[in-house]
A and B are shown apart, each in its own frame.
Chain A
Amino acid sequence: MRDRSLARGWLAAHFGLVLLFLYAPVAVLAVLSFNASGQPFAWGGFSLRWYESLVGNATIQQAVVATVVVGIVSTLVATVIGTLLAIGLERTTRSSLLDAGVFVPMIIPDIVLAIALLSFYNLVFTGIMGLGLGLWSVILSHVVFSIAFVAAIVRTRLRHFDASIEEASMDLGATPVRTFFGVTLPVIAPGVIAGALIAFTLSIDEFVIAFFTAGTAVTFPIRIYSMIRFGVTPEINAIATIVVAVSIVLVFVSQRVGREEP
C-alpha cells in the first residue's frame, strides 16, 4: 500500500513539474514585459512603457485590425459550414471514411497546406484572374482548417443530443425548417459558439499559412515574426503577454459556454 502513495506522489510531482515547464517560459515573458529596464536581469521597476509604445505603434495596430478582421470573417464562414457539416455527419450518414476525412485538415502539416494554397492561388487568382493576394486569401485559407475544428466540437455536442426532440417538434406541428431553428439550433448553440471561439483563436494565432498566402498584407503573427527576426526587444514581451492573455480568455470562455445547459 505504501507503494501506491509513493507512486502517486511521484506522479503528482511530475505533473507539477510539467505544468511548470509549460507555463514558466510564458510567465517569464509576462514578467519581463513589465520590467522598465527591458533587460532580463536588471529589474528597473514595474512599468507599462513597453505597452505604451505598442499603443502608439501604427504598423502594429494595422496588423491587429487585419488579424481581427480575418479572424471574424473566417470564423463566421467556417462556423456556418462546419455546423452544417457536423449535423450532416451525425445524422445523415454512417460513413467512417468521411469521419476520418474530416480530420485531414487538422492533421496536415501546415507548411504543406501553405504551399499548396499558395500554388493554387498563384495559378488561379494571380495567373488567370490577375488578382493580388491579400487578407482575403488568408481568410479563404483559414476557413479550410477552421471548418474541421468547428465540426468536431459541434459533433460532440450533437452526440449528447436526444434526436427525438426533433421528432417531437414535428409531431407537434412544426415543419422541418421551424424545427431546425426553433429546437435544433438553440440546443446545439453552446457547441456552435464554443467551436466558433476556438476557430477564432486559431485564426488570430495562425502564422505559417498566413505567411505564405497573405501576399503583401500583414497579419499580427506575421508582424511578430518579422519583429523577432530583427532581434529580441522588450516590446515583443508586451505583445506576447497580451496575445497569450487574450487566447487564454477566449479558450476559457469557449469551455464555459460549451459546457452549459441550454
Chain B
Amino acid sequence: MTEPIGAAIVRVEELRKEFGAVRALDRVSLEIAENEFFALLGPSGCGKTTLLRCLAGFERPDSGRILLDGRDIARVPPYRRPFNMMFQSYALFPHMSVGENVGYGLRQERVREPELGRRVADALDMVQLGGLARRRPHQLSGGQRQRVALARALVKRPRLLLLDEPLAALDRKLRGQMQLELKRLQAAVGISFVIVTHDQEEALVMADRAAIMDRGRVLQLDAPAELYERPATRFVASFIGESNLVPGRISFGEAGARLEASGRAFALDAGTVRSRGLRDGDRAAIAIRPERVGIAAPDAEIGEPAEVAEVVYLGSNRRYTVRLAGGPELVVRVQAGQPGDDLVPGDRVRVHWPTEHAVVVVDDTTEEPEEDA
C-alpha cells in the first residue's frame, strides 16, 4: 500500500454500515492526507458512495470511528463538520442567484459584508465564472452549474472537499477537460479532494491515491501506477484497465515460486508472492497486461507458440486475441507502427512476456482454477 505523502487529516477506522441484509461497509479503514487528490473507486454498490456520505455526515455508520484531529466525528451532523460536498446533481438552490448560492455557506458562518462579497467574487473567479453572480441557476449551462457547485463548496475552505461522481453527467470530451481542470484546481487551492467514481480511467488520471472497493471492502489502496502495474487481486486487475488472468495454484520449488495452471508453470517473483500473503498450494492467478505481451515470429526461440484468433482494429493500436497451444486465450495489444501490427486471424506467432510483468494476484473470485488436464 502506498503511504500518504503528507500528514493525515482524517482517519477512518473499521467503519461498518448495513442496509438491511446488504453490507455496504465492511470494516473499512483508510486515511486521507493533506493536499491530496483521493479517489474512491469501484463498481456500483461497492460502498464508495456510502463511505463518502459517512464522511459528509449524511449516513451514520453502525460502528467504527471517523477521526478528525483525534476526535471521533462519526455522529456529528453534517452542518457541524468542516467538510463540504459537491453533489452529483449540483443541488444549486433554484430560488437564489449564483452569488447567493456561493455565499450561502458563508452566511451560515455569519460572515458579513464586505468580506462576504469579496470571498464570493474570489471563489467565482477561481472557477472562471466571475461576473455571473447575478444569474439564476436555470439560466446557466450544465458545465457552469457544476462550477457554481464547486465554488460554493470551496469558498468555505473546508478541510476536505467531497465530490460525488462529479463528471458522470458530462459527455466524453467535456469529461476529459474537467478531469484535468479539477486536478489543477486541487493543486491550486491545496485542499484535499475525495472523489467517488466508477470510472477507473478517471481515477487514474486525477488521483494521487485511490482506494478500490468491492462489496464494502477496500481491496487495494495505492497510487494509480501501483494499482495498474501491481494489482493485488483478480478483481483489481480486471477492474483497472484490461488484464489477462490465468488462474492456478502457488507452488514453491527449487526453481523458486511458480504458478501452476493449465499444465504450465509460470515463474513468479517470490517477494511479491510473500507480500501478497500467499503460501504453497493457495489459489492465485497471474495478471498480464495486454500491452506487455510481445509478439515474435513463429520461428523465434522465445515464449510459446500461439495462433491469432481475432483481430480488432482500433486505430492507434490493434487488439489481438491469440490462442495458446492447449487452449488458453490471451489478449494482446500492439501499437500501430510496431512490428506485429499487421496480423490476420490464422497467423502463427510466438508470444512472450517479461517475468516481472506477470504479476501474481490474490484470487478473490469463487471460480475453481482449471485443473491440469
Contact = CB atoms under 8 A, between A and B. Distances in A.
A178 B78 CA distance: 13
B293 interface: no
Interface string B103-143: 01100110000000000000000000000000000100000
A262 B96 CA distance: 8
A172 interface: yes
A262 B95 contact: yes
A171 B95 contact: no
B89 interface: yes
A83 B91 CA distance: 22
A168 B85 contact: yes
B313 interface: no
Contacts of B94: 165, 187, 261-262
B56 interface: yes
A222 to B, nearest CB: 42
A186 B101 CA distance: 14
Given A183-B93, A186-B95, A262-B95, A173 B87 contact: no
Nearest to B77: A170
A174 B108 contact: yes
B152 interface: yes
Interface in B28-50: none
Interface in B66-105: 77-80, 83-85, 87-89, 91-95, 104-105
Interface string A160-187: 0010110111111111001000010011
Contacts of A262: 94-95
A167 B91 contact: yes
A169 B93 CA distance: 9
Contacts of A187: 93-95
A165 B89 CA distance: 9
B266 interface: no
B273 to A, nearest CB: 45
A174 B77 CA distance: 10
Contact of A173 (B88, B89, B95, B105): B105
Interface in A135-175: 162, 164-165, 167-175
Which secondary structure characterizes the binding site on chain A? Answer: helix
Contacts of B108: 172-174, 178
Contact of A171 (B84, B93, B109): B84
Nearest to B103: A172
B289 interface: no
A164 B109 contact: no
A158 B253 CA distance: 68
B93 A173 contact: no
B77 A165 contact: no
B156 interface: yes
A187 to B, nearest CB: 6
Contacts of B58: 167, 171
A174 B95 contact: no
Contacts, number: 66
A244 B304 CA distance: 92
B87 A172 contact: no
A171 B92 CA distance: 12
Contacts of B152: 168, 172
B84 to A, nearest CB: 6
A174 B87 contact: no
A168 B152 CA distance: 10
B334 to A, nearest CB: 46
A183 B100 CA distance: 12
Given A174-B79, A261-B138, A167 B87 contact: yes
B35 to A, nearest CB: 22
B349 to A, nearest CB: 54
B78 A167 contact: yes
A183 B89 CA distance: 16
B105 A172 contact: yes
B77 A164 contact: no
B79 A164 contact: no
Contact of B156 (A162, A170, A173, A178): A173
B111 to A, nearest CB: 11
B156 A172 contact: yes
B87 A175 contact: no
Contacts of B85: 167-168, 171
A114 B95 CA distance: 42
A164 B84 contact: no
A168 B77 contact: no
B143 to A, nearest CB: 18
Contact of B79 (A165, A173, A183, A186): A173
Contacts of A171: 56-58, 78-79, 83-85, 153
Contacts of B83: 171
Contacts of B77: 170, 175
A169 B58 CA distance: 12
Contacts of B87: 164, 167-168
A172 B79 CA distance: 6
A72 to B, nearest CB: 26
A175 B56 CA distance: 14
Closest 6 CB pairs of A and B: A173-B108, A172-B105, A262-B95, A168-B91, A164-B91, A165-B91
Given A165-B93, A168-B91, A174-B104, 19 more contacts: A164-B91, A167-B58, A167-B85, A167-B87, A169-B104, A170-B78, A170-B79, A171-B56, A171-B58, A171-B85, A171-B153, A172-B105, A172-B108, A173-B79, A173-B80, A173-B108, A175-B79, A183-B93, A262-B94
30 contacts: A162-B89, A164-B87, A164-B88, A165-B91, A165-B92, A165-B93, A167-B58, A167-B78, A167-B85, A167-B87, A167-B91, A168-B85, A168-B91, A168-B92, A168-B152, A170-B57, A170-B78, A170-B79, A171-B57, A171-B78, A171-B84, A171-B85, A172-B79, A172-B153, A172-B156, A173-B80, A173-B105, A174-B104, A174-B108, A175-B77
